[in-house]
Structure 1
Amino acid sequence: MTRKIYQSLMVIMVSLGLVFTLAQAQNKKALTFEDFIKIKRVSDPQLSPDGKQLALVITSMSLETNRGNSDIYLVPAGGGQPLPFVFSPAADFFPRWSPDGKNLAFISSRGGSPQVWVIPLSGGEPRKLTDFPGGVGSFSWSKSGRFLLVTSSVFPDCPDLEANRRRFEQQENSRVKARIYDHLLFRHWNSWFDGTRSHLFLFPLDGGQPLDLTPGDYDTPPIALGGELDFSLAPEEKEIAFVRNIDPELKLGLGTNNDIFLTTPEGKTIDKLTVSRANDIDPKYSPDGRYLAYRAMARPGFEADKLDLIIYDRQKKTFSNLTDKLDYSLSEFVWAPDSQAIYFLCEEKARTALFKLTLAGGKIEKILEGHYLSSLRISPDGKTIYALKQSLNHPSEVYALDLAAKKLKQLTAVNAELLASLEMNPAEDFWFESEGDRVHGLLLKPPFFDPNKKYPLLMLIHGGPQGAWEDGFHYRWNAQMFAAPGYVVAMVNFHGSTGYGQAFTDSISGDWGGKPYRDIIKAVGYLHGSYPFIDQNKLGAAGASYG
């Protein structure tokens, strides 16, 4: 091939590439509500014990039925197309591997109420394991595989599960549905108290009877401010840590006094481990059984307090706060397989930061920042972190982080085809001065943005108010849906927001209406003066909860 012919072919190929790219851009469209409903929601990745594959939940929504359906998929740990493994017209979710990796247990409502089912990895039909009258909320395997720890709703005055079954049937068949409440906390968010409590059971897999480990008029996990699971079995299987709040009803509605308790698989004794009047949650034993780690607040009654990482040394009977000098609140953590380190996430400037804490010496190292991660899992060799990653213009997918190289690799692309047809811009950061501090916000431009045009400005106001807007694909108040009709969307993390240090969060306590309002007004002025494409005569506001 001559040089001239080669150059001519290259020109043709580049030209065709430009035409193809332009055609792709022309074929894209703005996000519609119908498209939004089509987005598949990836959640709860669980790594197999051998580290070779992940089980994950994919939820598909239906506009026709106005409901979603969750199924369980498997994907190689190196990435690839998720393959359906557990699926039915009912909801299948909460996959958990057996310790030997030969079976996958999960929660399914295919039998009516949510129960634990199990399916062999070699194939076959799922088999129902549990039959709790109040259904199953969550569960975990014992290391030996001999039993499960299961949470289920019970009437605390019923002596056994059969009595509970009769009570549930009576309640269902009764023509009277009205209730009388004579105590506080009769409702939490949109859940009304129905007389039941969530209890933790030991469920033997050899056919024995379930044992209620947390009897009494209390909830495990707690009603509010709980952690990821809020119960944990020590590796030697002689101790179980769990969370509940035993405050009287009056204090329960006003306080945050979740505590960590210890019991045995026989359930003969219950000992209170923590003594703080503030929130103690999320207990997790180290793989070697030496330590129990958990997250804890310091100030009673303050839901927006910083969550620190506390280590309880089971041999020395000592407690250590290992993140007291870190000015961020822990959102989740995972033990390294060798029990010598803990990896944890903190909310940081509308995203998350991943840290490594080395127990010997207490050194804290920032591993990764600038992304929005969740659902941390770690490989058996301790070299790879698996997590969900999302952004304002991309729903969650599974990623792998090489801890040595500190590089992320996308493993799944469940919505690739749909997203390729949609024009959704990424978030842009902006900062402005207010109340003597730098205040952060996220700016989202509308699809097919033209800098020479003028666009109305929409201020989205977050709830809490001690919460924050994050660079995530939210399904309740999705910023792309607001931008799609042609708005520039601004999301201000005003004073009181989380992820900017505890003093910034505390700065509005006792005055929720002052600084946040002034921050938003100053943000409007800053945006009008900094972005010429914003129409200063067209301004709107939207929000939810506090917003």
Structure 2
Amino acid sequence: MADNTNVDVYLMGPDGGGSRAFTTGKGADNTPRFSPDGKWLSWLSMERAGFEADRQRLMLAGRSDGRTVGQPVEATAGWTLSVSAYTWCPDSKCVYAVIEERGRDNVYRIDVPSFHRSVAVSGGGLNTNVNVGPDGKTLVYLHQSDIQPPEVWANGKPLSHVNDQALAALDLPPLEAYGFVGALGDSVFGWLQKPPGFDPAKHYPVIYLIHGGPQGAWADYWGSRWNYQLFASRGYIVAAVNFHGSTGYGQKFTDAISQHWGDYPYADLMRGLDVVARLPYVDSTRLGAAGASYGGYMIYWIAGHTNRFKVLVAHDGVFNPVSMFGTTEELWFVSWEYGGTPYANRPLYEKWSPLDFVSNWKTPMLIVHSQLDYRVDLS
């Protein structure tokens, strides 16, 4: 059972003795590293207690004669995005950080100690697992996209070609981004995937995918579970919206879903569906939706609030938040998302409970739930 998110960085001697807590915040501190020259200690840090999707900051503390000196400083101050991972330059004069940004993973260079930042790798897809060459400029990393499974790249060019032969036999239309005005008047973005052999004169049914988390995001990636191309290969248009609560659009946008599971995201999804349904090549009478975890929750919520879809698929979804509070292994999660325990804030649990709207269900639904999902237990 996990009843908090408080993770601290500890320091100890080479022999393992004399351990002591270096960080003392209430949030999650992780991924500590010494700079190659030993003059800096760096780590990633979330500030708020009990929240797994807080902005992840890059923190640095100076070191001299093997001791930490001065107060820690945030190298990403003023930024609204999170650092997913990072690595030091060999000369300790910069850090390369992976940043989730609008459905893509870009790599930024952060100079030390000025903390000036600049884009090092962008251009689409996910760019992760960065390693830095001895010159401090050659970057080797994994690159993937909706049309490309992960391959090893260096400075914008592929080094490995493991999947080339398999891909050559496939028709893989590129992922297309689209946007609209969603809840709270905010800009909301999503993705469209067309099927192989796409014909603009035809009218295609739609699969509307809803991500979990709920603080997660649909990305320009080669999904091993929810693969846009695989869904589209059956002759569907695939649409996926990054609603309020999604990551990569600033922390305020991510925070918006907490205590609002059923209103802002639902409004975004319905407005995004309006855009898709108006496309000239879409058959708006044949719409289906599928989601897992929070996405499964939203499938249940949709079933109680609209009859727009012909079919729904819920995978390991949250059906009753009160039951989830009593059975999940991540005890702090439900308390954060619903503003307290069911004993302290029962009205909000009931307000956003799909269970309370089952009497409105009319759409055929496939429900899949795993016995070993300890986060969203079968009960």
Instruction: Decide: shared fold, TM above 0.5.
Output: yes
Q: Which residue of 2 aligns with 1:341?
A: 94
Shift of 1:396: 0.3
Which structure's residues are more often strand, by fraction? 1
1:428 matches 2:176: yes
1:323 matches 2:76: yes
Which of 104, 108, 114 is equivalent to 1:355?
A: 108
Contact 2:173 2:193 in 1 (8 A): yes
Distance 2:40 2:291 in 1: 43
Q: 4+ runs of 1 displaced by more than 4 Å?
A: none
1:534 matches 2:282: yes
Q: TM-score, normalised by structure 2?
A: 0.75
Q: For 1:386-424, what per-residue CA distance to the aligned partner results, in whole angstroms no more than 9, with x for missing partners?
A: 0000011210001001xxxxxx11111101111101112
Q: Which residue of 1 aligns with 2:163?
A: 415
Which structure's residues are more often helix, by fraction? 2
Code of the aligned partner of 2:60: I
Matches within 5 A, 1:81-480: 185=1, 253-315=2-64, 316-371=69-124, 372-401=126-155, 408-435=156-183, 436-480=185-229
Which of 476, 494, 510 is equivalent to 2:243?
A: 494
Distance 2:150 2:182 in 1: 33
Give the percent of matched residue pairs that are identical in Structure 1 and Structure 2: 43
- Larger Rg over CA atoms: 1
Shift of 1:306: 0.3
SS at match of 1:314: strand
SS at match of 1:370: coil
Distance 2:62 2:137 in 1: 25
Contact 1:352 1:370 in 2 (8 A): no
Which of 513, 522, 547 is equivalent to 2:271?
A: 522
Distance 1:482 1:254 in 2: 37
Contact 2:4 2:49 in 1 (8 A): yes
SS at match of 1:288: coil
Question: Which runs of 5 or more residues in structure 1 are unaligned?
Answer: 1-184, 186-252, 402-407
Which has the higher mean CA deviation after the structures are superposed, 466-475 or 262-271? Answer: 262-271
SS at match of 2:123: strand
SS at match of 1:284: strand
Code of the aligned partner of 2:195: P
Code of the aligned partner of 1:445: K
Contact 1:469 1:493 in 2 (8 A): yes
Code of the aligned partner of 2:128: S
Q: For 1:162-205, what per-residue CA distance to the aligned partner results, in whole angstroms no more than 9, with x for missing partners?
A: xxxxxxxxxxxxxxxxxxxxxxx1xxxxxxxxxxxxxxxxxxxx
Contact 1:263 1:271 in 2 (8 A): yes
Distance 2:13 2:131 in 1: 27
SS at match of 1:295: strand
Contact 2:42 2:59 in 1 (8 A): yes
Distance 1:319 1:535 in 2: 56
SS at match of 2:122: strand
Q: For 1:188-228, what per-residue CA distance to the aligned partner results, in whole angstroms no more than 9, with x for missing partners?
A: xxxxxxxxxxxxxxxxxxxxxxxxxxxxxxxxxxxxxxxxx
- Aligned residues: CA RMSD: 1.0
Shift of 1:268: 1.9
Q: For 1:422-460, what per-residue CA distance to the aligned partner results, in whole angstroms no more than 9, with x for missing partners?
A: 112111000011120110001000111000101001100
Shift of 1:257: 0.4
SS at match of 2:201: coil
Shift of 1:366: 2.2
Q: Which residue of 1 aligns with 2:262?
A: 513
Contact 1:343 1:357 in 2 (8 A): yes
SS at match of 1:442: strand
Shift of 1:514: 1.2
SS at match of 1:513: coil
Question: Which runs of 5 or more residues in structure 2 are unaligned?
Answer: 296-379
SS at match of 2:294: coil
Contact 1:373 1:387 in 2 (8 A): yes
Distance 2:86 2:123 in 1: 18
Shift of 1:360: 2.8
Q: TM-score, normalised by structure 1?
A: 0.52
Distance 1:304 1:446 in 2: 33
Q: Which residue of 2 aligns with 1:115?
A: none
Contact 2:121 2:127 in 1 (8 A): no
SS at match of 1:312: strand
Shift of 1:265: 2.4
Code of the aligned partner of 1:486: G
Distance 1:537 1:546 in 2: 26
Shift of 1:367: 2.5
Shift of 1:314: 1.8
Contact 1:287 1:337 in 2 (8 A): yes
Distance 1:318 1:324 in 2: 15
Distance 1:512 1:320 in 2: 34
1:503 matches 2:256: no
Q: Which residue of 1 aligns with 2:370?
A: none
Distance 2:181 2:129 in 1: 34
SS at match of 1:259: coil
Q: RCO (CA 8 Å, sep 6+): is it higher in 1 or 2?
A: 2
Count of aligned pairs = 289
